[in-house]
Structure 1
Amino acid sequence: MNRRKFFQQAGAAGLGAAASVSLAAPALAQENPKITWKLTSSFPKSLDIIFGAADEIARSVSEATGGNFTIQTFAAGEIVPPLQAADAVAAGTVEMAHTCCYYYIGKDPAFALGTAVPFGLNARMTNAWFSAGGGNELINEFLAGHNLYALPAGNTGAQMGGWYRKEIKTIDDLKGLKMRIAGLAGEVMSKVGVTPQQIAGSDVYAALEKGTIDATEFVGPYDDFKLGFYKVAKYYYYPAWWEGGPAVHAFFNKEKFEGLPANYKRILTDACAAANASMLAKYDTHNAAALRRLVAEGTELRAFGSDILDVCHQAALETYAELGAKNPAFKKIYDSQQAFKKDAYLWAQIAEYGFDTYMMIQQRQGKL
């Protein structure tokens, strides 16, 4: 081959390759822009599972984008008060929050349905309703009016019914009780004589210790042990009939989320889904050992009597009827959950409950 001709052809090819690179680079930069967001959490760093979900999301997003999309996480109170996280997101002060919808029922009771309501869905049903039962679409249709978009980003599983200074033997023992309790559960509890208090997690111990409140619910054994409630209240009740499977959400400023490149939206959505599954798995893993530690420290476990549950269930149904009659958004979302729940429990009692009940008997008999 003529050497001059060869190098001429090679040079032309090289120029073509260089041109293609120069054309591709701006397009690649547009698809993977450098973005830094702030995320404010409603939880303290000491609660490593529930706060840690925010860190997991940030880490997943950064790794999937080669560090181009960075999310800075801040614990409750570091830049925004814990119960004002959604307000900061809606206003654009921060782009994102990790919080619970029911903290914001003061704006609209329909917010509660994004987390949990008394005698609502369990954790598995909650995840199914959001991902396959139309729940995510319904919640975001509602949140759009608040300039918010949300994705499930955690679930604690069924929670405990809280810490009490005295035994709760009858429904009358609840009358006059000052209790830290979030969401619509507070409204239901008020119907049976409780005075509900909404207090951020980081402030609950001090309130219980000082006697500002007589009882508190929070999450479950793992977190409750860390927070030290057993030191200032002796009786630990179950179950939290108001939180059978509460969802924790990632809230986004709607405009900011919609302005992301499509691949970033997908990455962020997948990161939230992974954190959602991870949180439930971690609580399922660690709660049993924490419960043993609490009992060893002198905690006395108590179950709510069926008579108490029946009265509270009736109070909850009355609350939903009242809210549904005057709040179309609440009624629309609640009716969807109710229809889903009826079918879900039809199936659960056939297979899941039958299997679990038998295995629990084996556990009690020491045969596992």
Structure 2
Amino acid sequence: MTSNLTRRRFFRTATLGTAGAALAAPALAQGGTELKMLTCWPKNFPGLGTSAERFAQRVAAASDGKLRIKVYGAGEIVAPFEVLDAVAAGAGDLTHDTSYYWFGKDPAFVFFAVVPFGLTADEHFTWLKFGGGQELWDELGAAHGVKPLANLNTGAQMGGWFKSPINSAADLQGLRVRYPGLGGQMLSRLGATPVNIPGGELFTALQSGTIDGLEWIAPWNDLAFGFYRTAQHYYYPGFHEMGHTLSSYVNADVWSGLSSSEQAIMQSAADAEYVTSLAEYNARNLDALTTLVDDHDVQLHEWPIDILVEMKRMAPEVLAESAAKSPMATKVHENWLAFRETQRRWGDIGDYANARLKQG
């Protein structure tokens, strides 16, 4: 515990020393409070960045401007993969990130982002609200000095971009691919080498040959990043991310310092943005995919069946191995598995997509 406290104090001192007094948390001005949000994305990037701004706008509107959030893009204050440490140390007030970036801190974090062959966006929200997920997430967050909020979901993602076609699992041998989370671990078992690169650096890495392929999000965001200019082979389905939840981690002291009404405003704004962002992604992805295929000659491929079969086979094994690495991950895994089973049973009966499939 002493070493963690020392690390947090050092991080805050180092960050404040380089960034200046503007990072003193949280700022009181004009009869209100301004919180600093440190994000992992380019500022105002479609979907991720604009959703962060919209969340901030919701909070300001609901509080009559008494609680405000200033959004900082990736690298403006700290590097993308440093935002959680920065906020926990008090060098920022809340993050805008994805939880699987923090796998190295505890494997339990991945369950609150997305798991291969896991929960859809609506199932994940249901787990958080009515399946015990939020309580487990709060417990995990408290151990790291933060309060977690789910405030965005991209829906189903794509399988990624490759410079050369992938016709079988053999074609993955030796490829360097940007595939974070457990999906990357699964690809590594087929011979690929996963690397973790922040979103803002992906196009350059792909163009320069630092990586041979990548997954980012889905057509709307992938079109904006222009991956089609250097890779033409685009794969689906995104078996690794069936409904990716993004998050804000609020510094624990900042959260406890908010009034009950301010906490309720933050929670309601996060809930509203989760639903709105999912709708926006669902609305925009097909138009973007049509543009990629029709205007930019992107070749759309379904993953080869041998890869899909092998990925589905190994998913429970990889998940169990990861969950066994920490007591918290084991606890979350057990709850998550039980909930997924109930949702699958209900989905077999009540899911309209299943009914439509059976109708032909």
Partner of 2:180: 182
- Is the Cα–Cα contact under 8 Å of residues 188 and 315 in structure 1 kept in the other structure? yes
Identity of aligned residues (%): 36
Partner of 1:280: 278
Q: CA deviation at 1:33?
A: 6.0
Give the whole-Å Cα distance in 2 for the aligned partners of 1:325 and 1:183: 16
Cα separation, partners in 2 of 1:270 and 1:187, compared to 1, 3 Å: same
- Is the Cα–Cα contact under 8 Å of residues 107 and 323 in structure 2 kept in the other structure? no
Amino acid corresponding to residue 319 of structure 1 in structure 2: V
Residue 325 (1) aligns with residue 339 (2): no
TM-score, length-scaled by structure 1: 0.86
Q: CA deviation at 1:118?
A: 1.4
Give the whole-Å Cα distance in 1 for the aligned partners of 2:304 and 2:332: 30
Partner of 2:347: 348
Partner of 2:86: 88
Give the whole-Å Cα distance in 2 for the aligned partners of 1:269 and 1:224: 29
Q: CA deviation at 1:45?
A: 2.7
Q: How does 1:205-354 map to 2 (within 5 A)?
A: 205-296=203-294, 297-352=296-351, 353-354=353-354
Amino acid corresponding to residue 50 of structure 1 in structure 2: L
Give the whole-Å Cα distance in 2 for the aligned partners of 1:144 and 1:191: 34
Cα separation, partners in 2 of 1:113 and 1:354, compared to 1, 3 Å: closer
Between structure 1 and structure 2, the one with the greater Rg is 1
- Is the Cα–Cα contact under 8 Å of residues 192 and 312 in structure 1 kept in the other structure? no
Higher mean alpha-carbon deviation, 138-147 vs 153-162, is at 138-147
- Is the Cα–Cα contact under 8 Å of residues 105 and 184 in structure 1 kept in the other structure? no
Q: CA deviation at 1:315?
A: 2.7
Give the whole-Å Cα distance in 1 for the aligned partners of 2:313 and 2:75: 37
Give the whole-Å Cα distance in 2 for the aligned partners of 1:326 and 1:34: 43
Residue 101 (1) aligns with residue 99 (2): yes
Give the whole-Å Cα distance in 1 for the aligned partners of 2:100 and 2:232: 27
Structure 1 SS opposite 2:324: helix
Q: CA deviation at 1:193?
A: 1.1
Partner of 1:169: 167
Give the one of 51, 54, 63 matched to 2:52: 54
Q: CA deviation at 1:358?
A: 6.3
Q: How does 1:4-15 map to 2 (within 5 A)?
A: none
* Consecutive aligned runs of 4 or more in structure 1 exceeding 6 Å deviation: none
**How many residue pairs are counted as aligned between the two chains?**
329
Cα separation, partners in 2 of 1:104 and 1:157, compared to 1, 3 Å: same
Structure 2 SS opposite 1:48: coil
Amino acid corresponding to residue 65 of structure 1 in structure 2: S
Amino acid corresponding to residue 258 of structure 1 in structure 2: S
Cα separation, partners in 2 of 1:235 and 1:71, compared to 1, 3 Å: same
Amino acid corresponding to residue 75 of structure 1 in structure 2: G
Q: CA deviation at 1:334?
A: 1.5
- Is the Cα–Cα contact under 8 Å of residues 149 and 254 in structure 1 kept in the other structure? yes
Q: CA deviation at 1:272?
A: 0.7
Q: CA deviation at 1:46?
A: 4.9
Higher mean alpha-carbon deviation, 35-44 vs 216-225, is at 35-44
In structure 2, stretches of 5+ residues that fail to align are 1-29
Amino acid corresponding to residue 357 of structure 2 in structure 1: T
Amino acid corresponding to residue 335 of structure 2 in structure 1: S
Q: How does 1:191-210 map to 2 (within 5 A)?
A: 191-210=189-208
- Is the Cα–Cα contact under 8 Å of residues 175 and 194 in structure 1 kept in the other structure? yes
In structure 1, stretches of 5+ residues that fail to align are 1-31, 362-368
Q: CA deviation at 1:102?
A: 0.5
Q: CA deviation at 1:294?
A: 0.5
Give the whole-Å Cα distance in 2 for the aligned partners of 1:300 and 1:282: 24
Give the whole-Å Cα distance in 2 for the aligned partners of 1:52 and 1:356: 34
Partner of 1:127: 125
Give the whole-Å Cα distance in 1 for the aligned partners of 2:324 and 2:247: 27
- Is the Cα–Cα contact under 8 Å of residues 123 and 245 in structure 1 kept in the other structure? yes
Give the whole-Å Cα distance in 2 for the aligned partners of 1:323 and 1:295: 37
Give the whole-Å Cα distance in 2 for the aligned partners of 1:268 and 1:67: 13
Structure 2 SS opposite 1:350: helix
Cα separation, partners in 2 of 1:44 and 1:260, compared to 1, 3 Å: same
TM-score, length-scaled by structure 2: 0.88
Give the whole-Å Cα distance in 2 for the aligned partners of 1:238 and 1:324: 27
Cα separation, partners in 2 of 1:326 and 1:104, compared to 1, 3 Å: closer
